[in-house]
Amino acid sequence: MSGVVLDGRKINREILDELRPRIEALRSRQRPPTLAVVLVGENPASEIYVRNKVKTCRELGIRSLDATPPARVTTEELWRIVQSFNDDPQVDGILVQSPLPAHIDSQQILTAVDPLKDADGFHPFNVGCLVANRPAPRACTPAGIVEMLKRYRIPMAGKRAVVVGRSDIVGKPMALMLLHENATVTVCHSRTQDLAAECRRAEILVAAMGKPAAITSEHLSPGVVIVDVGMNRLTDEADVERLFAHDPARLASFRKNGTTLIGDVDPSAMREIASAYTPVPGGVGPLTIAMLMANTVRLAEQHLGS
C-alpha cells in the first residue's frame, strides 16, 4: 500500500493564485498590502523562514518591511519596534519571528502586536476568537492544514483526530480548528500514557512534537491520514540509512550534503500504512507561508475597507 501524497507545494500555489487578483485590486485602488517582519539576531533557521516569506511577498506584490535588531536587543527596545509598526497606517500585518532570545519577555512582545495587525494569529485576543469560532486571523500552520484537507476532500466531520503536541503555535490551535470542523479530537503530549494506543485510534493524525521519526508503525492504524508537521535535521549517517532505506535519492542527497530533513513520523511507516500523508519537506511548510499571505491580504482588505 502506498498512500496519496498531500502536496503542500500544490496547495500553496492554488492559494497564492487566488490571492493575486485581490492584491491587484488593493494595489490599483489604494496601495499594496504591507507585511512587517521582525527578526531578532542571527538564527539560521529563522533567517531561511523569513527569507522565504519576503520572497513570496515580492512575487505576489505584497510590500514587506524588515526590522532586524541584534540578539542583544532588550524587551523594551523590541516593544518599541513593534509599536512603531502598530502606529504605521501603511502596515497591515506584523510578524515577530520566533523563537526570540531567552532574555526577551516573549509574552510581552506577543501581546504588544495590535490584534488587528496580527498576521500570525497568536495574540490572545485572536486565540479567544478561535476558541469562540469568530472571524480573526488564525495561526498559519494549522489553518493551512485544514485548508489542505478540504482541498483534497478529506472529511473531518465525525472523524477521530489525534494531535500529538500541545504547543500554542500548532497543537492547541490545531485541536480547536479540528473541533470546529466537527472532528472528535484527542490531544496527546509528553505526559500521555500509552501514546501508541492513543495514536492507533486516529483516523486523522497530526504529529507536531518536534522529535525525528518518533511516530512509528506501532502508532499507526491502516488507512490513517497523517499530517507531519515536524521539521528535524538529521546528520547521523546510520539513522539516515535506516530511515530512508527506501529512498535512494534522499540517501544520495544526504551523502552529498551531510544533512537531511525528516518529520516526526517514520517515513517508511507513513508511506506504507497511511491512506494519505504529507511529505517532509514539501508538505506543511508551504501551507504556513500561504496562510501568512492570506492573513496579510485579509487584514489589508479590512484596513482599506474592501
Assess whether 118 carries a catalytic annotation. Answer: no
Whole-prediction pTM = 0.94
Sheet with 34-38, strands from edge to edge, namely 63-67, 34-38, 93-96
Backbone angles phi, psi at 247, to 5 degrees: -130, 85
Assess whether 7 carries a catalytic annotation. Answer: no
Per-residue confidence (pLDDT) for residue 171, from 0 to 100: 97
Whether the Cβ atoms of residue 163 and residue 208 lie closer than 8 Å to each other: yes
Task: Give the C-alpha separation, 141 to 206, whole Å.
Answer: 11
Task: Give the C-alpha separation, 283 to 105, whole Å.
Answer: 32
Show the DSSP H helices in the chain as ranges: 8-29, 44-60, 75-87, 106-112, 124-132, 140-151, 171-180, 195-200, 237-243, 248-257, 267-273, 284-303
Per-residue confidence (pLDDT) for residue 43, from 0 to 100: 77
Per-residue confidence (pLDDT) for residue 149, from 0 to 100: 98
Per-residue confidence (pLDDT) for residue 76, from 0 to 100: 97
Q: Which amino acid is at 72?
A: R
**Which one of the listed residues 92, 117, 118, 120 is annotated catalytic?**
120
CATH assignment, 31-116: 3.40.50.10860
Question: Which three cell numbers mark 48?
Answer: 531561511
Per-residue confidence (pLDDT) for residue 50, from 0 to 100: 85
**Which one of the listed residues 92, 97, 228, 264 is annotated catalytic?**
97
Domain limits, the chain: 31-116, 140-284
CATH assignment, 140-284: 3.40.50.720
Assess whether 83 carries a catalytic annotation. Answer: no
Per-residue confidence (pLDDT) for residue 1, from 0 to 100: 52
Task: Give the C-alpha separation, 48 to 44, whole Å.
Answer: 6
Task: Give the C-alpha separation, 85 to 97, whole Å.
Answer: 15
Whether the Cβ atoms of residue 113 and residue 83 lie closer than 8 Å to each other: no
**What is the three-class DSSP state of 95?**
strand
pLDDT per residue, tens digit, the chain (306 aa), is 578 999 999 999 999 999 999 999 999 999 999 999 999 988 777 788 888 888 999 999 999 999 999 999 999 999 999 999 999 999 999 999 988 999 999 999 999 999 999 999 999 999 999 999 999 999 999 999 999 999 999 999 999 999 999 999 999 999 999 999 999 999 999 999 999 999 999 999 999 999 999 999 999 999 999 999 999 999 999 999 999 988 899 999 999 999 999 999 999 999 999 999 999 999 999 999 999 999 999 999 999 986
Question: Which three cell numbers mark 74?
Answer: 532588550
Query: 223 pairs with which residues across the strands?
Result: none
Task: Give the C-alpha separation, 27 to 296, whole Å.
Answer: 14
Distance of CA 278 to the CA centre of its chain: 13
